[in-house]
Every structure is written in C-alpha cells, then in structure tokens.
Amino acid sequence: MALHLHICGLHRPYLLLTLGLTLGLLNACSTSPIQSSETLYSQRLNAAHLKHIGGIQQFSLQGRIGVQSNYKGFSGGLFWQHTPIADEINLHSPLGGQVASIAKNPETITLTDASGKQISASNAETLTYQVLGWSLPLDGLQDWALGRPTENSPSASTWDDNGLLTSLSQNGWQIEYQNYADKDGYQLPHKISLKSEQVNLKLIIEKWSNITP
C-alpha cells in the first residue's frame, strides 16, 4: 500500500502529530496482515481433513521403500499391518526375498533378520539402526504415513488448497508429501519423503487396506 503525505507548510506541533499518526498507521499495517478468504478456507479444510483421518486406528499398506543413510542403504518392498496395540512390518528385497520382519507390541519390539536371528529392543529406531544400519521412525510413522502429525509432540506443517499436508516437521524429521489417493472416503498419501540428520527415506504406498476407525 502506497501512502502519500504532504507536510509542507505545517507548524511544528502539527507536523509532529501528523508524523506520529502516520508511523502508527504504518506499524499497524506491518504487524496486522489480513488473511485472504482462500487462506482461511484452506485452514478450515485442513482442520476438517485432520479430524476425518484422526479417527483411523488400524490400517494395512503395501508399497516400496528406499533408504539412504550415512552407513547403509536399502531398497525393496514393504508390507505393514498396524493396530492400536501392535505392528507387523515385512521388508523384502527387490527380488521378493524377505530381508527382515519387525513385530511390535506394548512390551517390546523384535526384529527377525533373513537368517532367522531375533533381536529385541525398546524402540524401533534403535533396533533398526543396530541391525539394518538405518533408523525407521515407527512411532511417528504410524501417523505420518496417514498424512497427520503425531499427538503430544510439537510440529510445524503446511498444506495445499484442499487442506492436505504438503510438509510436516516433527521429532527431528522433515516429511514431504507429493501425492494423495482416495481410499474408502479418505485422502491418504501415495508418495512420502522423510529426512533426518542421518537418514533419507522414501515411501511409495501402492495399496491401502483394512482402514478402520
């Protein structure tokens, strides 16, 4: 906004008063941006979308995963069954051979490698790092995979005109969402990129199933 002010010929008291009012007006303009109706509308869509998918408690997904870390990499297939109390994840090589399976319950997490050896730990990130050489953020991923932030943890996010997340920053991870697909009335992510200081992870979800509120 251009503001034109003619002050020539004013006496000093009026000049000071005019300058004060002008500075106050400029300060108000700079600190109180007006949100467009489009921005407010997308905010409402985002809130409605998060409320809708917030009820999802159980799901299964099948797809592909690619991982690059400071030490090791991995590329292959992924099958994941999630319930409120348990997770079952199978990782496969590009040729279909099982590389590892991860089982989580309220007490522990156990990883079984290709040779059948079992290792347990208290959390998935520590376990996968010790055995596979890269960290899988399972606790956050159960929400991030659905396109929502995990609860009880600070986050920052952006969304598109339809209210769907385009980026999310939480728990040391930066998540980017490229595509969504409709499944049983839910808009769910199709392509996700996750980055931490040590790991780059890409997830392509080819099939959603067993979506249960």
CA atoms within 13 A on the CB side of 178: 9
Mean pLDDT estimate for the chain = 86
The tens digit of pLDDT for each residue in 90-100 reads 999 999 999 99
Q: Look-up: residue for tokens 């040391």?
A: 172
pLDDT of residue 191: 98
The β-bridge partners of 176 are 167, 193
Ranking 6-20, 36-50, 56-70, 198-212 by mean pLDDT, the lowest is: 6-20
Q: What is the DSSP code (8-state) at residue 96?
A: S
Q: Is the pLDDT of residue 2 over 80?
A: no
pLDDT in tens, 42-58: 999 999 999 999 999 99
Write the burial class of residue 42 (CB in 10 Å: 0-12 exposed, 13-18 middle, 19+ buried).
Answer: middle
CA-based nearest residue to 56, from 163, 159, 187, 170: 187
Closest alpha carbon to 147 in 170, 124, 113: 170
Query: What contacts 157, CB < 8 A, 6 or more positions away?
Result: 149, 165, 167, 168, 169
Q: Among 16-25, 98-107, 154-163, 186-195, which stretch is predicted with the lowest mean pLDDT?
A: 16-25
- Using only C-alpha atoms, the chain has a radius of gyration, in whole angstroms, of 25
Please state the three-class secondary structure of 65-89 as a single string.
EEEEECCCEEEEEEEEEECCCCEEE
pLDDT in tens, 182-209: 999 999 999 999 999 999 999 999 999 9
Torsion of CA 36, 51, 82, 139, to 10 degrees: 60
Checking if the pLDDT of 153 tops 50, the result is yes
Res 70: pLDDT:
84
210 has pLDDT over 90: yes
pTM: 0.81
Q: How far is CA 174 from CA 71, 197, 202, in A?
A: 20, 10, 12
CB of 47 within 8 A of CB of 40?
A: no
Domain boundaries along the sequence of the chain: 50-207
Q: How would CATH label the architecture of 50-207?
A: Clam (2.50)
Give percent helix, percent strand, percent coil of the chain, each to the nearest 5. 25, 40, 35
Give yes or no for a contact between 102 and 108, defined as CB atoms under 8 angstroms apart.
no
Reduced to 3 states, what is the DSSP secondary structure of residue 212?
strand
